[in-house]
Amino acid sequence: MNIASVIVDVPAKQTDREFDYSIPDKWINVVKPGMRVIVPFGPRMVQGFVTGLKNETELKKLREIKEILDLEPVLNEELLRLGNWLTDETMCFRITALQAMLPAALKAKYEKVLRIHEGRKELVDERVRAAFRDRKFISWKDVLQEDNAALFQKQVQKGNLEVIYYVKDKLNKKTVRFVEPLLTSEELAQYAGTLAASAKKQYEVLQFFIENPGKIQLRTLLEAVKASNGTIKALAKKNILAERDEEIYRDPYENRVFDKTSPFKLTEEQSAALRPIQKSIKENSHDVFLLYGVTGSGKTEIYLQAIDAVIKKGEEAIMLVPEISLTPQTVKRFKERFGEQVAVMHSGLSIGEKYDEWRKIHRKEVKVVVGARSAIFAPFENLGVIIIDEEHESSYKQEETPRYHARDVAIQRANQHNCPVILGSATPALESFARAKKEIYQLLTLSKRMNNSQLPQVEIVDMREELRAGNRSMFSENLFAKLKDRLQKGEQTVLLLNKRGHSSFVMCRSCGLVINCPNCDISLTYHRFNDSLKCHYCGHEEDIPKTCPECGSDHIRFFGTGTQKVEEELVKILPEARVIRMDVDTTSRKGSHERLLNRFQEGHADILLGTQMIAKGLDFPNITLVGVLSADTMLHLPDFRSSEKTFQLLTQVSGRAGRHKLAGEVVIQTYTPEHYSIELSGMQDFDAFYEREMHIRRQSLYPPYYYVALINISHEDLMKTAATTEKIAKYVSAGLSPEAMVLGPVASPISRIKNRYRYQCLIKYKREPQLKQLLRTLLEHYQQETAQNHLQISIDLNPQIMM
Ligand SMILES: Nc1ncnc2c1ncn2[C@@H]1O[C@H](COP(=O)(O)OP(=O)(O)OP(=O)(O)O)[C@@H](O)[C@H]1O
Ligand SMILES: [Zn+2]
Ligand SMILES: [Zn+2]
């Protein structure tokens, strides 16, 4: 086939379709769907994805593919189809969907060279060998010039040739120098006997290889025999030893030894939950399981054993974990069980490291990927299970295009692979639990904690009472007493500061002015670190004013409680306590997250103080107290899920206490103790919360009873923003059935970001098959204005954040 259909990297409405290009004769059979190519587009050269091959086209004149960027497809057929599905589901451009499935490194510019694989020279086709002449590398560009690219490609597929990518910006593969003897042990000994007495070091090196045959890293060898590089060079020159560079993966977990663990003997509850999963794995059946298990009930062990069954069957597994609980502790549990078969993908890795992990999957060197949201696109070809831990987490939804939810992608992929999906949580999303109740998902329940440990005792403290009683500190009497008690006993405490919702802002006490960002309608956050104010949306930074810009008063101070402030207060009231603080500031450096947790685990601190990032995944035996400093900050967000999110967070963090032998206690401080999500999280009663919240959702017509879609409109001109939103709301309203509701236009909760005004309208509906088409028409109508970026319209068909 000599014509390729290509999706070009020009994200715009008019170019959002396949374009036909002819394949130069020399590349017929080389170009395959899923490869990236360079093609002429208008006056420029652009990148694109080959999505299909054919023999005929309606076009009279075709332009030619200019360059091939990959030797093997980077997207397999299933992922290409998934791209179409993503495009349709999230209403994004096709190019955006395809790119979202690849690691960032593949979007960078790089050069490819080929090398003959070590020890395979004899196997390489003669014509290819000839092309190398005496060179170690030849560039892919040169190969493309010649007429036998297919020949090279075949050698790559056979593993005789190796492709090396040299990427600008440090992306080249990392290599390490190895040394290995070219003679047998006997020959080495023989040769050693002939050495001059002065060549003492050479003698020792030979001795080393006689005792430790085989290759070794140069650095390790030099350290072991205390020899210099010159000694090795001398022996290499005489063809006794050979030196060579080998590529190694930038493995963030290298130099770490993971002791192999074996599966636990499951409890009865666990076995009952695992059985239907194993059955579905065995029978290749596409079932979705909701594993609803209280905190510390051993869900992870079930994941591990399900993955084990999948590997034994010769298939692969995707294990998704929310970004913030993708802690070293979590990764360790998988590496300990499956060793080298695990790839890890999360945002803490550098672009190069991520790319290396992706390649391990692409080259079929691993069987399992443990990763955050985007690992759902791991290019496995024989998926046997997809698992999503903490499935209720909002970070599984991508908040930029393509606006996909990993849960939906998981179900779609598992459907293609005929394999099960396991969604696990102690506090499932309302939508998921409702589906389980309707038996769309199969519900599996773990109601008991491991080791027969009890769920912790929870006390709710009314902070208004504290204030009335004269306690102005951020610690209630009760929490303070318990903190002291743990210090005496040498037990550990986790303190959660719920920062989402509000943080430290600066306010004038005389006139009440709050210092806002000049570009965004949101208060600036105080950063003690460099004594400045910062906008979390646009990055704007300024000094704290000495006097109020409004009334000139000098009574200007910051409000709200940041982790730093809590830390200072702790030092004051409990000077003997050793505190580890974990927040964005202390964990921004690579590896710091792990270091802090290790220090805490090893007992170098009494209190772990932090934001949301400490609420999940911790499984330390010595934690017996959890304190929540401000339970209600999230309750006041303008979001129909705010109660649900509050309940989930409080339940999760409470679950960190008393997971092993020692019993746990939790103190939740709040200004609204009567709110049901606080009250019920105190009782750790998800089922009651579910009933209560479902009732409210039914009355207020929100998911899971109704679907919602959010249209966000932004423009630099306020009038224009409001007027356009008005028009859009009318248009949508007219196109939908009378049962659908269009709320708005209203200003968004954050009504301005980066100097653009923001308006929105919310659509609530039950069944509107024409909705997507209607919205597509809408986008086409405003196409010209949005292409010039004056107007921005974003549509979210399943919004998780209502800002
Ligand atoms: N069958 C078993 N026998 C003995 N110990 C087990 C068994 N299953 C799990 N455990 C241990 O019990 C503890 C809690 O299990 P795990 O962390 O898997 O629970 P979880 O439900 O995933 O927790 P959470 O959702 O709260 O993070 C862990 O230390 C784990 O190693
Ligand atoms: Zn003032
Ligand atoms: Zn700003």
Q: Where are the alpha helices (DSSP H) in 13-76?
A: none
The preferred substitution site among 619, 662, 666 for testing ligand 1, maximizing ligand atoms within 8 Å of CB, is 619
Query: 588 alpha carbon to ligand 3 midpoint, in Å?
Result: 21
Give yes or no for residue 450 CB within 6 A of ligand 1: yes
Instruction: Name the one residue in this structure whose structure tokens are 């002791």.
Output: 259
The pLDDT of residue 107 is above 80: no
| Residue-level pLDDT at 182 | 85
Between 10-14, 229-233, 680-684, the lowest mean confidence (pLDDT) is in 10-14
- Say if residue 169's pLDDT is above 50: no
Work out the pLDDT band at 391, boundaries 50, 70, 90: very high
Q: Is the pLDDT of residue 174 over 70?
A: no
Ligand in closest contact with the CA of 655? 1
**What is the edge-to-edge ordering of all strands in the sheet holding 756-765?**
741-753, 756-765, 707-715, 792-796
Regarding the beta carbon of 267 and ligand 1, being less than 6 Å apart is answered: yes
Here the tokens at position 245 are 């560079």
ipTM score assigned to the predicted complex: 0.94
CB 616 within 8 A of CB 390: yes
Determine which helix (DSSP H) or strand (DSSP E) holds 218, and give its type and residue range. Answer: helix 218-225
Distance 587 CA to ligand 1 centre (A): 26
Half-sphere exposure for 6 (CA within 13 Å, toward CB): 30
Task: For residues 239-255, give the mean pLDDT.
Answer: 70
C-alpha dist (Å) from residue 151 to 29, 122, 127, 238: 10, 16, 8, 36
Report which of residues 451 and 550 the model is more confident about: 550
* Pick from 105-119, 308-322, 329-343: least confident: 105-119
Nearest CA to ligand 1 atom 25: 295
Can the peptide bond before residue 704 be classed as cis, meaning omega within 30 degrees of 0?
yes
Residue with tokens 């990763």: 371
Cα 657 to chain centroid distance, Å, stands at 26
When mean pLDDT is compared across 105-119, 498-512, 709-723, the lowest value belongs to 498-512
CB 783 within 8 A of CB 707: no
The class level of CATH for 3-73 reads alpha beta
How many other C-beta atoms can be found within 10 angstroms of the C-beta atom of residue 638? 10
Check residue 561 and give its pLDDT.
Answer: 60
Q: What is the pLDDT of residue 248?
A: 62
Query: How far does residue 516's CA lie from ligand 3's centre (Å)?
Result: 8
What pLDDT digit, counting tens, does each position of 696-710 carry?
Answer: 999 989 999 999 999
What is the distance between the alpha carbons of residues 110 and 431, in angstroms, rounded to a whole number? Answer: 44
Give the chain's mean pLDDT: 87
Protein residue closest via CA to atom 9 of ligand 1: 298
253 Cβ below 6 A of ligand 1 = no
- Residue 549 CA to ligand 2 center (angstroms) comes to 7
Q: For ligand 1, atom 29, which residue shows the shortest CA distance?
A: 619
**Pocket lining: 266 vs ligand 1, CB cutoff 6 Å:** yes
Residue 264 CB–ligand 1 contact under 6 Å: yes
CATH of 457-503+560-697, one of 1.10.10.10, 3.40.50.150, 3.90.850.10, 3.40.50.300: 3.40.50.300
In ligand 1, the atom with minimum distance to the C-alpha of 325 is 27
Q: Is the pLDDT of residue 171 over 50?
A: no
Q: What is the distance between the alpha carbons of residues 735 and 768, in angstroms, rounded to a whole number? A: 10
Q: Cα(437) to centroid of ligand 3, in Å?
A: 43
pLDDT of residue 501: 39
Q: For the segment 3-61, what is each residue's pLDDT rounded down to a tens digit?
A: 999 999 888 888 899 999 999 998 998 999 999 999 998 878 888 999 999 998 888 88
| Averaged pLDDT for residues 259-286 | 93
The token duo for 526 is: 């105080």
Residue 549: nearest ligand to its CA? 2
Q: Is the pLDDT of residue 203 over 70?
A: yes
* pLDDT tens readout for residues 618-627: 778 889 999 9
- Please tell me the distance between residue 546's alpha carbon and the centre of ligand 2 in angstroms: 11
Report residue 262's pLDDT band, with 50, 70 and 90 as the boundaries. confident
At 502 the pLDDT is 43
Cβ atoms < 10 Å from Cβ of 97: 24
Q: Does the annotation place 520 within a ligand binding site?
A: yes
- Residue 538 CA: which ligand is closest? 3
Q: Confirm or reject CATH 3.30.70.330 for domain 268-451, answering yes or no.
A: no
Distance between CA 528 and CA 282 in Å, rounded? 56
Tokens of 756: 């653009």
- pLDDT tens figures, 298-317: 999 999 999 999 999 999 99
Question: pLDDT above 90 covers what percent of the chain?
Answer: 45
Please tell me the distance between residue 635's alpha carbon and the centre of ligand 2 in angstroms. 29
Q: Please report the pLDDT score of residue 170 as a whole number.
A: 42
Pocket lining: 299 vs ligand 1, CB cutoff 6 Å: yes
Q: Is 551 annotated as a binding residue?
A: yes
What is the average pLDDT across 628-647? 82
Collapsed DSSP state (helix, strand, coil) of residue 681: helix
Least confident segment among 23-37, 134-148, 318-332, 431-445: 134-148
Least confident of 53-62, 335-344, 364-373: 53-62
The answer to whether domain 707-796 has CATH 3.30.70.360 is: yes
DSSP labels, 531-564: TEEE-TTT--EEEPPSS-TTT--S-EEEES--HH
Average pLDDT over residues 466-482: 89
pTM of the shown model: 0.80
| Overall residue count recorded for the chain in this entry | 803
For ligand 1, say whether the CB of 301 is within 6 Å of any of its atoms: yes
**Amino acid letter for position 182:** L
Helix spans in 363-516 (H): 406-417, 430-437, 463-468, 477-489
The response to whether 511 counts as a known ligand-binding position is yes
Closest ligand 1 atom to residue 450 Cα is 12
Q: Does 457-503+560-697 match 268-451 at the fold level? A: yes
Q: How many CB atoms lie within 10 A of CB 44?
A: 9
SS3 (DSSP) at 503: coil
Q: In what order do the strands lie in the sheet with 525-527?
A: 525-527, 532-534, 541-543
| Radius of gyration of the CA atoms of the chain, in A | 30
Encode pLDDT of 559-593 as tens digits.
Answer: 656 777 788 889 999 999 999 988 777 776 777 87
Question: Which of 584, 643, 638, 654 is closest to 613 using CA atoms?
Answer: 584
3-state secondary structure of 744: strand
Lowest mean pLDDT across 38-47, 82-91, 159-168, 313-322: 159-168
Give dist(CA 795, CA 89) in Å, integer. Answer: 11
Ranking 218-222, 254-258, 652-656 by mean pLDDT, the lowest is 254-258
Percent of the chain predicted with pLDDT > 70: 93
pLDDT of residue 195: 86
What is the pLDDT at residue 162?
79
Flag whether pLDDT at 505 surpasses 60.
yes
Tell me the ligand closest to 520's alpha carbon.
Answer: 3
Per DSSP (E only), the strands in 589-673 are 607-610, 623-628, 665-670
Ligand 1 pocket mutation pick from 300, 370, 601 by most atoms within 8 angstroms of CB: 300
Please report which confidence band the pLDDT of residue 661 belongs to, taking 50, 70 and 90 as the band edges: confident
* Mean pLDDT to the nearest integer, 68-95: 94
Q: Which residues surround ligand 2, an ion (CB under 5 A)?
A: 508, 510-511, 513, 548, 550-551, 553
Q: Which of 26-40, 120-134, 261-275, 433-447 has the lowest mean pLDDT?
A: 120-134
Residue entry with tokens 């090398």: 115
**Segments making up each domain of the chain, as ranges:** 3-73, 110-167, 175-248, 268-451, 457-503+560-697, 509-552, 707-796
3-state secondary structure of 164: strand
Whether the per-residue pLDDT at 239 is higher than 90: the answer is no
Range in 285-299, 459-473, 605-619, 703-717 with the lowest mean pLDDT? 605-619
Point out the ligand 1 atom lying closest to the alpha carbon of residue 426. 25
Q: Is 69 in the pocket of ligand 1 (CB under 6 A)?
A: no
SS3 89: helix
The enclosing H or E element of 337 equals helix 328-338
User: Which residue, among 581, 509, 586, 577, has the nearest Cα to 547 in the 3D structure?
Assistant: 509
